[in-house]
Structures are given as C-alpha cells and as structure tokens.
Structure 1
Amino acid sequence: MPQPTDLLAVLIDADNVSPARIGAVLTEIAKYGTASVKRVYGDWTKPNLRGWKDAASEHVIQPMQQFDNTTGKNATDSALIIDAMDLLYTGRFQAFCIVSSDSDFTRLASRIREDGVTVYGFGEVKTPEAFRNACDRFTYLDVIDQPESDAATTALPRKRVPSKELRGDTKLVFNLRASIAAASDEDGWAHLGGVGSLMRKNQPDCDSRNWGYAKLSDLAREIGLFTVLPNPTGGLRVKNGRK
C-alpha cells in the first residue's frame, strides 16, 4: 500500500500533456506519496509548449530542455528515459509517476518494475494498451477532476453508467468476479480493498471513475450482481451473487 512517506519521481512528457491538467494530476499523485522530484521534458523553443512556463513555475516543476536535433526523432522521450534510469539507480524512490500517453515509455515502465519499484502511469484514453499494462496502475487524465477553466474534451463518461450497461460489460464483470473469488474466504466473502488491488493487477487502468463512480463499492452495488456489506473488522466486504 502507498504510504505518505513514499518518495516519488514525477516525470512529465510536455508534448503529450496539457499544462492545464497538471495541477489535478499532481493532486492525484499526492495520494501515493511525496513528489520529491518533479520534472517536465520538452523543447521549450516550440510555441506550442509556451503554456508550460507558468504551470511549471506554479507547481515547482523543473523544466528540462531538450532540442529536437533531428526531424522525426523525439529527443524529449530519450531525455526522460535517461533521467528515469539515473534516478532509479539512486535507489531513493519507492515509485515513479510517468505522465504521458506515449507508448515509447512501455519498456521504461517495465524496466523500473523489474527493480521492484512501483510505476504509476497517467495519460489519455488513446494511450496504447501496452504502456497501460506495463504500469502497476494507470489513471486516465479524463477521470481526474479538472478545473472549470479546462476546456479539454472529455472522452470518458462523466455520468454514471447505468446498471444494465454495467452488467453488459463482460470484461468488468469477469474481472470483478475473478478478483472476488481469488480473495474470498471459505464463506465466499472478500475484503473490498483487496479485491480492488487484484482488479488493478489484472487490469492496471481499472478505475471505478471510468464508469462514473467515485468508489468501487458504489460500482459493485450498481452492477447488481454482487453483495456489498460492512465488514465486522472494518471496511467493506463483497461476495459474488445477490443476497
């Protein structure tokens, strides 16, 4: 489980993330620990990255300049990967946060995890599955609360997906059923927190907010195929089937 004292390295691909989103992203990252390193990578001579100047200053993010010396080659990605490996070798960090929708970071995420270090990914819905699955947990930028001034298009549902549609989502239902079965006791009950952890291991981008629900308990209840009750020892427990 993440601890407030966990040290995080936050590495941001400016070419793939709007500066208007970064405040909400950092708030989300704060759930996992303390961002002791925050760096954003880009070629700051490009006009389209101009908005990052104020965002980086406001959130105390260190801008890392990388010129695109060759057309068609993304030098920014290479700079981020090199820095990530340098930081990994220090052994200081419990987790890395990679903020990008670029599949080029798939191998980086896998390599960091090979050292037993957690990887949290953040990106848009278009992020390739390979990169999402290479992370321990992947969160879509679209489900993170945005400031009112952010006019970015939302590709994920803000409204709650109704019960009928949830039951028709075979991937979701199968993942929930299988995770409950794996975590359950002899009576078929499982701690909801443990179920959520298993679901994310099976599918790193699994987040109840993707379907418009703030909590997994709300999502499980709405599906209508599971029983969710208070756990005698605290928290909630869940069981396959309606009581």
Structure 2
Amino acid sequence: MAESNQKIALFIDADNAPARKIEKILSEMAKYGVVSIRRAYGNWKSHTVKGWEEQLHEYAIQPIQQFDLTKGKNATDMAMTIDAMDTLYTKKMDAFCIVSSDSDFTPLIMRLLSEGKVVYGFGERKAPAPFVNACSRFLYLDEPEADPEKVPENSKKSGHELKADTKLMNLIRNAIDTEQDDDGWAYLGRIGAVISNQASFDPRNYGYKKLGDLIRAVDLFETQIMDNNQMSVRDKRRGNHIQNGGH
C-alpha cells in the first residue's frame, strides 16, 4: 500500500483538466503525503484556462506559461514532461501526480516508474487508456461524488456489469491466487496491495467507495471477517473445489 508520508510533485495540464476538481485532487493526495511542488501549465492568455486562475493563489499553485507556438500542437505536454524529468533528477520526490484528460503522458510515467517513483493520475473519462493504465493509481474526475444525494442510481456498476468486465475479474482473481492460504482465503488488504502494484485500479471509478464493497457486489467471490476483524476473500470456484474434496 502507498505510504502516507510521501513527498509529491504535482503537474497539471490546465488546458485539459477541470479546475473545479482541484480540491478533490489535493484531498486525495493528502492521504499519501505532502504536495510540495505544485505547477499548472497552460496558455494563461487563453480563455480555456480562466477557471484555473482563481485557484492558483488559494491552493499555492505556480502557473507556468506556455504559448501555443504551433497551431493544433500544444506545447504544454512537452513543458510538463521536461519539468517532471528535471524534478526527478534534482529533487528528492517519492511520487508524482499528473493531471490531464486529453494528453498521453505514458512515456513520462513509464520513465518515472522505472526510477521507482509512484505515479498518481487524474483526468476525465476521455483520458487516453495507455495513460490511465500506466499510472500506479488513476482516479476519474468526472465520476459522481460518493454522496448518495448526489449520485444518480445508474452511476454504480451493477454486480452483473462488474462480472462482465473480464479484465477486472481477472485482476481480482489473480490477486487472490497470489495471496491465498491453503483454504483459498486471502486478506482484502493484501489483495488491494497486489492489484495496486499491477494496475491503476480504484474502486471509486466503478461507483464503490471501497474494494470490499465492489467484491461483495459480485457473486463470484465469498467473503468472511477473520478473528482480527480483517476481511478475507475467496474465489467461489476454489471454495467449491475444496468442498468437493479437491486439493
């Protein structure tokens, strides 16, 4: 699981990220450590970043000006990448946070990961899949909040919809296989840790506050609370195998 005392560098693609979500981003990052570097990149003469201007002083974010030097080509991506690499080599950061929805920062993220850094990503659903999947953890900013009064009924994926997501089911099953004991049970916390090391998974992207809530919604798994009050999970196929005398 991620440490809660990380030194984090935040890089925002202001041209392609919603300013109204900055509080959510910083609140999420506060769970993991201190965001000591905060930079937002964009053409500050453009009306598209107006929403960010009022957030800069309130959240101590440094604006970095990038003119649109070539029509149809945004210089922000290159500037963010260069500054992130400079920060990687000149500052002792534990983690990087990249906020963007349209741009593919996959090469940068892979480079940061290769140096042992944790990479958090934020963006809207239109964010490129390679960018999303490369992050240590990615959270969609256009998902409804967890407040029941604000969440439409159709925002949460049903058990049937989750079950139909083969990639997700394989991710959970493989994590259980990795951590299971002789009877097929695996601690939920260990399952979450394995998944976090393999994919940019976050249960909130599926409308669930916690991993345990998501797993309970799927009829492929059984759960139990252990003596230490920790939840354990087992693949029902393994449970049936044991009950039928398998080894």
TM-score (norm 2): 0.87
Say if 1:177 and 1:240, in contact at 8 Å, map to a contact too.
Answer: yes
State whether residues 146 and 207 of structure 2, in contact with CA within 8 Å, keep that contact through their aligned partners in structure 1.
no
Distance 1:59 1:69, change over 3 A: same
Please point out which of 203, 207, 219 is paired with 1:212. 207
| Amino acid corresponding to residue 190 of structure 2 in structure 1 | G
**Aligned residue for 1:73?**
73
1:97 to 2:97 alignment:
yes
Aligned ranges 1:19-30 → 2 under 5 Å: 19-30=19-30
Contact 1:162 1:222 in 2 (8 A): yes
Match of 1:176 in 2: 172
- Partners of 2:112 and 2:157 lie apart in 1 by 35
Q: Which residue of 1 aligns with 2:193?
A: 197
1:81-230 aligned within 5 A:
81-143=81-143, 145=145, 159-204=155-200, 206-230=201-225
1:146 Cα deviation from its structure 2 partner: 8.9
Cα distance, 1:230–1:28 mapped onto 2, change above 3 Å: same
User: Is this contact kept in 2: 1:103–1:130, CA < 8 A?
Assistant: no
Kindly tell me: are residues 157 and 10 of structure 1, through their superposed partners in 2, closer, same or farther at Cα, counting changes over 3 Å? farther
Contact 1:9/1:93 (CA < 8 Å) preserved in 2?
yes
Q: 1:157 to 1:22 in 2, by over 3 A?
A: farther
Identity among equivalent positions (%) equals: 46
2:243 matched to which residue of 1?
none
Give 1 or 2 for the bigger CA radius of gyration.
2
- Offset of 1:11 from its aligned partner? 0.4
Shifted more, 227-236 versus 42-51: the winner is: 227-236
* Partner-residue secondary structure (3-state), 1:12: strand
For the aligned residues, what is the CA RMSD?
A: 2.4
Question: CA–CA distance in 1 between the matches of 2:153 and 2:135?
Answer: 23
Q: Matched residues in 2 for 1:215 and 1:240: separation?
A: 18
Return the TM-score normalized by structure 1.
0.88
Change (3 A) 1:119 1:144: farther
Does the CA contact (< 8 Å) of 1:158 and 1:212 recur in 2? no
Residue-pair matches, total: 236
Amino acid at match of 1:219: L
Aligned-partner residue type, residue 70 of structure 2: T
Change (3 A) 1:166 1:69: closer
Quote the offset at 1:210 in angstroms. Answer: 2.3
CA 157–107 in structure 1, closer or farther in 2 if over 3 Å, else same: farther
Other-structure match for 1:55? 55
Amino acid at match of 2:26: L
User: After superposition, what is the alpha-carbon deviation per residue over 1:94-137, rounded to whole angstroms, capped at 9, x for unaligned?
Assistant: 00000012343111111111111111111111111211222111
The equivalent of 1:151 in structure 2 is none
Superimposed CA distance per residue, residues 49-99 of structure 1 (whole angstroms, 9 cap, x where no aligned partner): 122111112111111111122222211111111110111002411000000
